[in-house]
A and B are shown apart, each in its own frame.
Chain A
Amino acid sequence: DSGVTQTPKHLITATGQRVTLRCSPRSGDLSVYWYQQSLDQGLQFLIQYYNGEERAKGNILERFSAQQFPDLHSELNLSSLELGDSALYFCASSVEGGPTDTQYFGPGTRLTVL
């Protein structure tokens, strides 16, 4: 158990819909990262937050948005969902969000778009 929690575990929805994925970082961690892992694929970095502010952006689509709240939990919003958005979405956290930080991954949310 990494100490990072993600809800829900599974999400099934239809094309065109909007969903919100939630992540709570490990106690004491200030930085949160979001990743997308499609079937048999690697991890695609989406976005990183540090203490409520966006720190780095990866290959995040315009239909996707995220934020980190004052209590440090984070939400990833996915809208106008397409079949290709079906994937495992991981959240990770680290202490300071620096380049040598260890990232601790949550169990992931499996999104299925029908």
Chain B
Amino acid sequence: GQQVMQIPQYQHVQEGEDFTTYCNSSTTLSNIQWYKQRPGGHPVFLIQLVKSGEVKKQKRLTFQFGEAKKNSSLHITATQTTDVGTYFCAGCRTSGTYKYIFGTGTRLKVLA
């Protein structure tokens, strides 16, 4: 079945360092969404990418969708302690009915 893998599973960084998480799908996606889940919280929508090769920025966060629409990345520049949490990608494949497959998540810890 369709799988969406994320790497790394865990990442510890010093505050101020950059961070990147990668999302890879076994099948072509129609679009991809990114969510952030703070410890003890619920997933919160960050952004959606639809077009091949699309790049979107939100302040220190940069999101990319691969040319083949099978992978995506989230890059955080100069991490802050508020960036702590688990970042999930969610790939959507439309063939008949669609459904979102969430990636395994990357848990980010930022050390002050």
Contact = CB atoms under 8 A, between A and B. Distances in A.
Interface of A: 2, 35, 41-45, 48, 55-58, 90, 92, 99-100, 102-108
Contacts of A104: 45
Contacts of A45: 99-102
Interface residues of B, number: 24
**What 5 pairs between A and B have smallest CB-CB spacing?**
A43-B102, A105-B42, A56-B99, A99-B98, A42-B104
B45 to A, nearest CB: 5
B48 A102 contact: yes
Contacts of B41: 107
B42 A48 contact: no
13 contacts: A42-B105, A43-B43, A43-B88, A45-B100, A55-B97, A58-B99, A92-B43, A100-B31, A102-B45, A103-B33, A105-B42, A105-B43, A106-B42
Contacts of B99: 45, 48, 56-58
Given A43-B102, A45-B101, A99 B92 contact: yes
Most buried by B among A44, A99, A105: A99
A56 B94 CA distance: 11
B111 interface: no
A103 to B, nearest CB: 7
A103 B86 CA distance: 17
A103 B88 CA distance: 13
Contacts of A42: 88, 102-105
Contacts of A108: 42
B30 interface: yes
Contact of B42 (A41, A57, A90, A100): A90
A99 B31 contact: yes
Contacts of A43: 43, 88, 90, 102, 105
Contacts of B50: 100
